[in-house]
Amino acid sequence: MSKVLSAHAVSVDGYITGRDPGAGRGLGDGTTLFDWYFAGDTPSRVFDGFKLSESSARVFDAFAGRVGAVVAGRNTYDDSDGFGGGSPHPNARLVVLSHRPVPEISERQTLVTTGIEDAIAAAREAAGDGDVGLMGGGVLTEALKAGLVDEVVLHQVPVLLGGGRPFFQTLPEHVRLRLIEAVPAPGVTHLHYAVER
């Protein structure tokens, strides 16, 4: 069965956006979280236009290459202007999780309003042999609560943003993680964890 993973660029104080994210404003004042995408000479094999350091390219492409479908939360969808009717990933269908209708959803996107289990099931089906990527702290938290997350990746950027949307939200109990790999790279440290169940 395909795995479920969530890989985000995150500040050392745990934010995946800066202050005031939103439609037309993206990550708000937290755009520095993505600087490492363009801080090297190695083109990504998956994302056109990304030029990473050699060590970041190895890690980034390893994850990006596994993803066959993405589940994004409504805030991620709205703050990213609906991904222009497409997907945040060049090779993966987008499943949007919301409690509410999304009037502008396109035929290249799937809306699920019946919960995280159904969203991940729809993404698994769309992913074929690929894995499912989760986008958004809210969605990651819901999936952790449901026991559906296999791996978490922090692309940890050495900045304290001081505010924004948090990667991890309130959980009812501890979730144990096992470090698989830690890769220091220019402008970012890649921390790859398995979720222990």
Interface with ligand NAP, residue 16, by CB under 6 A? yes
Q: What mask of x and - would describe binding to ligand NAP in positions 113 to 152, judged by CB under 6 A?
A: --xx------------------xxxxx--x----------
Closest contact distance (angstroms) between CB of 128 and ligand NAP is: 23
Evaluate whether 72 touches 97 at the Cβ level (below 8 Å).
yes
Task: Indicate which single residue of 40, 68, 73, 130 sits in contact with ligand NAP (rule: CB under 6 A).
Answer: 73
Residue 75 pairs in a beta bridge with none
Q: Is 9 in the site for ligand NAP (CB under 6 A)?
A: yes
Q: State yes or no: residue 87 binds ligand NAP (CB under 6 A).
A: no
Task: Give the span between the Cα atoms of 12 and 8, in whole angstroms.
Answer: 12
Between CA 129 and CA 134, with CA 132 as vertex, the angle to 5 degrees is 170
Minimum CB separation of residue 117 from ligand NAP in Å reads: 9
Nearer to ligand NAP, 72 or 191 (CB): 72
* Under rule CB under 6 A, residue 99 binds ligand NAP: yes
Q: Residue 70 has which token pair?
A: 């993405």
Q: Say if CB 95 and CB 32 are below 8 A apart.
A: no
Alpha-carbon span 10 to 17, nearest angstrom: 8
The DSSP code sequence of 24-78 is: TTBTTT-GGGGGGGGSSSEE-SSSTT-EE-HHHHHHHHHHHTTEEEEEEEHHHHH
- Closest separation in Å from C-beta 108 to ligand NAP: 19
Binding mask 22-61 for ligand NAP (x = CB under 6 A): -----------x----------------------------
Q: Is the CA virtual torsion 76, 70, 143, 176 positive or negative? A: negative
Q: Does the protein bind ligand NAP through residue 6 (CB under 6 A)?
A: no
Residues at the contact surface with ligand NAP, assessed by CB under 6 A: 8-9, 16-17, 21, 33, 72-76, 79-80, 97-100, 115-116, 135-139, 142, 165
